[in-house]
Amino acid sequence: MTSTKPYFVRAIFEWCVDQGLTPYISVAVDAGTRVPREFVKDGRIVLNISPDAASQLLLKNEAITFQARFNGVAFPVVVPMDAVAAVFAKENGQGLSFEPVSAADAPALTESEPPPPQEPPPSGGRPHLTRVK
């Protein structure tokens, strides 16, 4: 059965664009993630996927792909859908966060990459989305 995550990511992306907000994704970087490594902090990166920032954006069931500029240099970005930790609006933080993929299902990390940080489970109450910069 296909995961619901890609559908939720596309829905929040479209909602952000319709509302004039800037859609961002938080990504747990692993071996299958293609992003400029110099911008990865603690195994995570936050990416602007707005139409103004992400050229040739494709939100597929398997991955998010686009071209973006980092410090003025074009870079082809590939984010497996399993690596998406959250999708949210920059302006108000509204969006969705996702459960991390289990270690057995995640691609192996190379030796030069630190493992993504483990987040403690929520302590009850309303879900809380933490913005990672």
Q: Return the pLDDT at 73.
A: 94
Q: What is the pLDDT of residue 99?
A: 85
pLDDT value at residue 130: 57
Please tell me the pTM assigned to this model.
0.75
pLDDT at 115: 47
Instruction: Reduce the secondary structure of 30-76 to three states and give it as a string.
Output: CCCCECCHHHCECCEEEEECCCCCCEEEEECCCEEEEEEEECCEEEE
* 10-residue averages of pLDDT along the chain (133 residues): 94 98 97 95 97 97 96 96 97 92 47 47 53 56
Domain boundaries, the chain: 5-97
DSSP strand pairing (63-70 vs 55-59): antiparallel
To the question of domain 5-97 being in CATH 2.30.30.220, the answer is yes
Cα distances (angstroms) measured from residue 68 to each of 6, 24, 57, 72 = 20, 13, 9, 9
Output the pLDDT for position 1.
Answer: 83
pLDDT confidence of residue 103: 41
Tell me, what's the pLDDT at 105? Answer: 52
- pLDDT reported for residue 102: 46
Helix (H, G, I), strand (E, B) or coil at 88: strand
